[in-house]
Amino acid sequence: IDSVVIVGAGHAGVELAHSLRKEKFEGRVVLISAEAVYPYQRPPLSKDFLKGGGDNPLLLKAEALYEKMGIELKLGRTVAGIDRDARTVTLDDGEVIAYDRLALATGARNRRPPVPGLEDPAVLELRDLADSRRLLERLEGLSRVAIVGAGFIGLEIAAFLAEKGKSVEVVELASRVMARAVSEPVSDYFLSYHRGLGTEIHLETGVTAIAHEADGVRVELSDGHALQADAVLLAAGVVPNVELAEAAGLAVADGIVIDDRLRTSDPAIFSLGDCASFPCAYLDGRQIRLESVQNANDQARLIARQVMGGDEAYAALPWFWSYQGEARLQIAGLGIGYDSTVLRGDPAEDKFSVFLYRDGRLVSVESVNAPGDHMASRKLIEKGIEVTPEAAADPATELKKLIV
């Protein structure tokens, strides 16, 4: 293998380029980014970057490191097509680049629900650096903000805005916050936490239309009420960027479909990160897509080893975090399909963990302000060490000591 071309320079693409060098790959590495700025970390965009006022995004790697590592970084360039027979990609300006192995790390973009009025300039979103800066530029002129979606990002921004003294209302279709990602006790805790910050949260409510008004917008809700806001922040999930793969005839189904070696339906083409749908080792091989830094990084490292001749199934333990105001949520494993939960610690003391079991097996631990529980449970789940509900609930159990 003489050349690897990587499409997309988010967490996944950048980690892959550098991992190839760490694995001593000596061929050509080309990393193509539609964004014109040096690759940066996305999580801070809804957290510390906002708090810091928008200066200095956290770069994924120092600018000088690309050249030093012999990575050809092409910024502000989009891959427009793939010719699988010729093994080439064509860029938007017509440049053609040949590959032996191609990696699609095209990420995801915000989902835009079919709501009339969404194109109003008062509607903001938060996926990239430019979005984050746009929000900060508008900040001073905002007193009332409506947020569509009570997922991680919607709630992180809600906490930031509430701390800035803004009046915040969050509209969520599901019956609890972060319903897709956490168990009920954790949803309940965060619902009260945000309400305690003064944020209003409307559950089981949809946004049906956004109407322009002289001094902002009117956000119409499915329950017949309407909110007045200076801005609307759209945080209703993402859709994977699969169009390039689809046009090239690769298998696509809620993501670019890959196997446990992270190969697409064309063995010369890998895919990874937010755009890829992979068979999850923790869900009996069910195809899922994960939107997390951990997943992007671990998939990148595995692909680098595959390029160097390795043959290994992807089985990294998923983990996540979300910082909302003072509350630090960390999740180890996947709770999907859990059938019972055990509480460790006390939500009233703002420090606890929820242990999630499926068919009697520990599958996930959600920790709030309990980083020790999180670190230990990552190891326990990874190693398949069972923690009985009794042991989990007992504050005297030292989780660390169970790791063998």
Whichever of 102 and 229 has its CB closer to ligand FAD, that residue is: 102
Whichever of 34 and 362 has its CB closer to ligand FAD, that residue is: 34
Query: Whole-number minimum distance, CB 248 to ligand FAD, in Å?
Result: 11
Query: Whole-number minimum distance, CB 202 to ligand FAD, in Å?
Result: 22
Query: Whole-number minimum distance, CB 368 to ligand FAD, in Å?
Result: 15
Whichever of 34 and 162 has its CB closer to ligand FAD, that residue is: 34
Query: Whole-number minimum distance, CB 360 to ligand FAD, in Å?
Result: 29
Whichever of 368 and 392 has its CB closer to ligand FAD, that residue is: 368
Query: Whole-number minimum distance, CB 91 to ligand FAD, in Å?
Result: 8
CA atoms within 13 A on the CB side of 133: 6
Q: Rounded CA gap, 351 and 368, in Å?
A: 6
Long-range Cβ contact pairs of 36-39 (< 8 A, separation 24 or more) = 36/75, 36/76, 37/75, 37/129, 38/63, 38/75, 39/9, 39/10, 39/13, 39/14, 39/73
Structure-token pair, residue 348: 């009233």
Whichever of 153 and 370 has its CB closer to ligand FAD, that residue is: 153
Q: What is the 3-state secondary structure (H, E, C) of the chain?
A: CCEEEEECCCHHHHHHHHHHHHCCCCCEEEEEECCCCCCECCHHHHCHHHHCCCCCCCECCCHHHHHHCCEEEEECCCEEEEECCCCEEEECCCCEEECCEEEECCCEEECCCCCCCCCCCCEEECCCHHHHHHHHHHHCCCCEEEEECCCHHHHHHHHHHHHCCCEEEEECCCCCCCCCCCCHHHHHHHHHHHHHCCCEEECCCCEEEEEEECCEEEEEECCCCEEEECEEEECCCEEECCHHHHHCCCCECCCEECCCCCECCCCCEEECHHHEEEEEHHHCCEEECCCCHHHHHHHHHHHHHHHCCCCCCCCCCCEEEEEECCEEEEEEECCCCCCEEEEEEEHHHCEEEEEEEECCEEEEEEEECCHHHHHHHHHHHHCCCCCCHHHHHCCCCCHHHHCC
Query: Whole-number minimum distance, CB 213 to ligand FAD, in Å?
Result: 28
Specify the pairing of strand 101-104 against strand 269-271.
parallel
CA angle, 186 then 191 then 197, to 5°: 125
Query: Whole-number minimum distance, CB 270 to ligand FAD, in Å?
Result: 12
Whichever of 15 and 220 has its CB closer to ligand FAD, that residue is: 15
Binding positions for ligand FAD, rule: CB under 6 A: 7-13, 32-35, 42-43, 45-46, 78-79, 105-108, 126-127, 153, 241, 244, 273-274, 291-294, 296, 320-322
Query: Whole-number minimum distance, CB 123 to ligand FAD, in Å?
Result: 16
Whichever of 153 and 392 has its CB closer to ligand FAD, that residue is: 153
Whichever of 61 and 216 has its CB closer to ligand FAD, that residue is: 61
Query: Whole-number minimum distance, CB 81 to ligand FAD, in Å?
Result: 9
Whichever of 42 and 387 has its CB closer to ligand FAD, that residue is: 42
Query: Whole-number minimum distance, CB 65 to ligand FAD, in Å?
Result: 17
Whichever of 42 and 374 has its CB closer to ligand FAD, that residue is: 42
